[in-house]
Amino acid sequence: MSIKIVIEKCTGCSLCIKACPFDAIKILDKKAVIDLNKCNLCGACIDSCKFKAILIEKPLDIQKSPLNLSDYKGVWVFAEQKKSIIQPVVWELLAKARELADKLKTDVSAVLLGSGVKNKAEELIRYGADRVYFVDDESLNNFLDEPYTNILVKLIQKYKPEIFLCGATSIGRSLVSRVAVKLYTGLTADCTGLDIDLEKRLLLQTRPAFGGNIMATIITPCYRPQMATVRHKVFSALEEDKTRKGEIIEEKMEEGLFKSRTSILEVIEEVSSTVNLSEADIIVSGGRGIGSKENFKILEDLAKVLNAAVGASRAAVDSGWMPYSHQVGQTGRTVAPKIYIACGISGQIQHLVGMQASKIIVAINKDPDAPIFKVATYGIVGDLFEIVPALTKRLKEVLKR
């Protein structure tokens, strides 16, 4: 096993017990003992030990990489499109990729798969790409796991990027999970922070775990590319620069790579909300306190004025007041808008984990002891059926809508 306690150095101080997220350490006879069935070798205890009494052997030493790491250069961004429209998260990724590439003194490439998408390549360059690889084929119009995987694997093997970023969308998360397995490389999901360890030329990927209660920084030392997915709204896009120039390269693929065993029979867009929850800058969300399906109308009115999306707590979804696709929280979506307005939501932890990364949280609730007020930037204690319509009316005047 690759973790051990140096008995001579251990003082039995129990600092490591508190640091262990897996409850795997006990003190027996004044010495720490690690339960290897529980230990996940995460290394949290190493930093906690003031006596350097815990040793962990990290088998993935950069020196032992089976690859020639210096062959891998450049930062790639997957330019996800739907109906030939580049998805907003791509602009955010390009900005971050730009920053990472500048630190590494390398360049940014976007990879675009679709049908009739060539004219979108210029747009990607204006937002930070130096180069765009695109594959144009009718069969790539809608996302399908297999052809998209085949083509990305092929392109990555051909050009060998060192970093590959993708949006943590329903497409991105399905696609790159498959790509990373096929390439035998590391993938870190839902990163909220990306930075470079310049000395080792490694991507430092920080992400929340345990419902956001813990943050972990993860590396892929020996394999390439270092792959990460990133949620919406974590990074900010660059301003469009119409003077930026770049290279646009069309890639031709062999016929076989476009084959898919799955096929799309129908695409159905539900029109219950005009604004996509994960991309919205503002979300107006309702919980048990809304009381009925009909009452959600007052939230929809407010959302309309603010150009916001409508969210719901699990209680509201389970009561049948809103469709599941609007649910925010542990068993629904995770969102991080600029403003999250929680109306009649008590703030159970399962809800909080889905929205606590929002920049500003506004809570409207008649119960002054509701837990939502513990995380709210601005809390209003009062009757939402009075406050929300009044807020809508006043905002209409202020915003001149």
Partner 1 sequence: MEIVVCIKQVPETTEVKINPQTNTLIREGVKSIINPFDMYALEEAIRLKEKYSGKTIVITMGPPQAESALREALAMGIDEGILITDRTFAGSDTWATSYTLSKAILKIGNFDLVLCGKQASDGDTAQVGPGISAHLDIPQVTYVKKIREINNKNCIVERMTEEGYEVILTPLPCVLTVVKEINEPRLPSLRGLMRAKQTQIIRWSARELKLDEEKIGLKGSPTQVVKIFSPPQRKGGVVFKGETSEVVDKLISLLKDQLP
- Which parts of 20-59 interact with partner 1 (CB under 8 A)? 20-21, 23, 36-44, 47-48, 58-59
Distance separating alpha carbons of residues 35 and 16, to the nearest angstrom? 13
The 10 Å Cβ neighbour count of residue 71 is 9
Of 212 and 286, the one with the shorter C-beta distance to partner 1 is 212
Candidate list 81, 106, 109, 169; residue touching partner 1; CB under 8 A: 169
251/227 Cα distance (integer angstroms):
22
Cβ closest to partner 1, residue 109 vs residue 348: 348
Please report, as residue ranges, which positions from 77 to 106 form the binding site for partner 1 (by CB under 8 A).
Answer: 82
Complex with partner 1: residue 219 or 248, whichever CB lies closer: 219
What pairs with residue 311 in β-bridges?
A: 285
Question: How many other β-carbons are positioned within 10 Å of the β-carbon of residue 369?
Answer: 9
Smallest gap from residue 239 Cβ to partner 1 (A): 18
Pairing state of beta strands 339-343 and 378-381? unpaired
The amino acid that residue 296 corresponds to is F
Encoded one letter per residue, x for contact with partner 1 by CB under 8 A and - for no contact, window 327-346 reads: x--xxx-----xx-------
137, two tokens = 């084929």
Query: Nearest-CA neighbor of 261 among 96, 131, 150?
Result: 150
- Beta strand 131-136 with 247-250 is parallel
Scanning residues 236 to 255, which ones bind partner 1 (CB under 8 A)? none
Query: Which residue's CB is nearer to partner 1, number 47 or number 102?
Result: 47
Residue 285, interface with partner 1 (CB under 8 A)? no
| Binds partner 1 (CB under 8 A): choice among 81, 109, 149, 295 | 149
Taking CB under 8 A as the criterion, the residue among 118, 244, 380, 396 binding partner 1 is 380
- Segment interacting with partner 1, rule: CB under 8 A, options 69-77, 106-114, 258-266, 289-297: 258-266
224 in Cβ contact with 76 (< 8 Å): no
- The residue within the footprint of partner 1, chosen from 33, 304, 387, 396 (CB under 8 A), is 387
106-140: string of b/e by CB count within 10 Å (b at 16+)? bbbbbbbbbeebeebbebbbbbbbbbbbbbbbeeb
Nearest distance from C-beta of residue 386 to partner 1, angstroms: 5
With H, G, I as helix, E, B as strand and everything else as coil, classify residue 58: coil
Residues in region 180-239 near partner 1 by CB under 8 A: 180-182, 184-190, 204, 208-223
Q: Which is nearer to partner 1, 7 or 215 (CB)?
A: 215
Name the minimum Å distance from CB 247 to partner 1. 30
